[in-house]
Amino acid sequence: MQAQSPTRQLAQFVNEVRYENLTSEVRTRVKDIVLDTIASALAGHDASETPKVIALAREIASSSEASVIGGGRLSVAGATLVNGYLITAVTVCDIHRPSSCHVTPEVVAPALVTSEALGSTGRDFIAAIAAGLEVTTRVGLGLDPVAFRARGWHAPGVTGPFGGAASVGKLLNLDAEQQCFAFGIAGSQSAGTYAQLGTNTIKFQQSRGALSGLLAARLAQQNFSAADEILTHPDGGLFSAYADGGKPDALLAGLGQDWELMRISLRAWPVAVHLQPVVTGLLSLIAASELDPGDISEVRVRVSPTAYRMHGTVKWDDRFRARLSTPYVTAVVIHDRKCWLEQFTPQRVRDDALGRFARENVKVSADSDLVDGTTVIEIVSTSGKSFREHVTAAKGEPSNPLTHDEIVQKLRSASAGILTHDAAERAIELVSELEDVRSMRELSDCLRTSPEPASVSS
């Protein structure tokens, strides 16, 4: 008997995922990831361009049956698009480092909308998110991340539609054949490149990936056919088209036993992934040295060659690019002794004294001995004394994780001015006890603020 193709094996895996079969460790991790995702979406209302995505969502469909996190109601497609963008808007959502993919915008956004429409139970939602996170990360591994990245592809827009198709397909109770169709349709919508780095479109690729996954699963529900093997097909399969044949064995190794979603990192601060270790190290050094900015003559930041290429010399000429700029992030953390949304207001980004410190006192360099996700920082005082920190794992990495209480605090901070205190606390309670939620509409009701979607612009 011929072995199933990788795409069919992945579809069969999704079909067989059950809440009851998930380990307690996986269930707990999924709940924490969902809580962090909601926090990230609430923070996303701070992004200047968010109203533009909301305007697009209103234009493409005029119905209002689905909830926006921290907003009102839009169409199913519109809410998926907006929620997907909100999650990634201020660069504080997750990262799966092995595949260089932000996973939650494409997986959680369409699942939230679908579970609200269906009135799914919390247990069904946990199973769906587990399936979606696992599919996205494993397709990313199968694409051979090194070869994939060398061609300039951006993972969320390419692998994300598969995760969205899995999470929605699970909630729709697609059979294995329909789920295979959903993956084929998802693959037909896979796109996104790093040419957009530094622009809002790099984030829109994740939002669009969420919508693509929703469309794939919904169309497959109608038994709309697609290629049996979208991943390894010799003529246009993703692995051959995007990554010189990929690594199918990496996709399937330990599937259903060794959960790749456990290796997803959560970001503590609203800056680029490669800058998470920089903030980790700076805050540690500030606490240890007790130096004021005026006492500092130089801050030397050494990062990996990849981090330097992407963020070492970025100009902080707008709020988004400031989040990607090593000099600016270093300067603002040194001055403000924290790193949250208020460090990236238009006024803060344009501050002359801060900009002068970033240009004159911050020295960023590439170190070939450093791997991605690490940094070495040295602060030199005006008296000549130096303080050094070598960060091997940023706060939020699996080896240095955000605790549940820290994720709760992140949500509380992000919800300020958007949700009422009672609504935020109720959302925290519902997600923390998600397995007992009878209908996901309870959570959607807590996260919705008004008949019309609200957003903070600047």
The parent domain of residue 318 ranges over 273-391
pLDDT higher than threshold 50 for residue 454? no
- pLDDT (mean) for 434-445: 98
Q: Are residues 286 and 356 in the same domain?
A: yes
Residue 453 counted as domain residue = no
Q: Are residues 296 and 249 in the same domain?
A: no
Per-residue pLDDT tens over the stretch 397-429: 999 999 999 999 999 999 999 999 999 999 999
Q: Are residues 263 and 279 in the same domain?
A: no
Q: Are residues 263 and 371 in the same domain?
A: no
Distance CA 387, CA 285 (A): 7
Q: Are residues 17 and 143 in the same domain?
A: yes
Per-residue pLDDT tens over the stretch 96-154: 999 999 999 999 999 999 999 999 999 999 999 999 999 999 999 999 999 999 999 99
Of 42, 25, 87, whose CA–CA distance to 263 is shortest? 25
Q: Are residues 27 and 141 in the same domain?
A: yes
What pLDDT, on the 0 to 100 scale, is given for residue 2?
45
Per-residue pLDDT tens over the stretch 359-378: 999 999 999 999 999 999 99
In this structure, are residues 174 and 16 in contact, taking their beta carbons and an 8 Å threshold?
no
Residue 35 counted as domain residue = yes
324: domain CATH number is 3.30.1330.120
pTM for this one?
0.95
432: domain CATH number is 1.10.4100.10
Hey, what are 126's tokens? Answer: 């946990």
Residue 452 counted as domain residue = no
Per-residue pLDDT tens over the stretch 237-279: 999 999 989 999 999 999 999 999 999 999 999 999 999 999 9
Percent of the chain with pLDDT over 70: 97
Q: Are residues 79 and 219 in the same domain?
A: yes
Q: Are residues 14 and 159 in the same domain?
A: yes
Residue 68 counted as domain residue = yes
Per-residue pLDDT tens over the stretch 17-75: 999 999 999 999 999 999 999 999 999 999 999 999 999 999 998 899 999 999 999 99
Per-residue pLDDT tens over the stretch 332-368: 999 999 999 999 999 999 999 999 999 999 999 999 9
Q: Are residues 135 and 99 in the same domain?
A: yes
Q: Are residues 149 and 134 in the same domain?
A: yes
What pLDDT, on the 0 to 100 scale, is given for residue 3?
64
Supply the mean pLDDT for the chain: 95
- pLDDT (mean) for 373-395: 96
In this structure, are residues 296 and 334 in contact, taking their beta carbons and an 8 Å threshold?
yes
Domains in the chain, number:
2
What pLDDT, on the 0 to 100 scale, is given for residue 289?
85
pLDDT higher than threshold 70 for residue 1? no
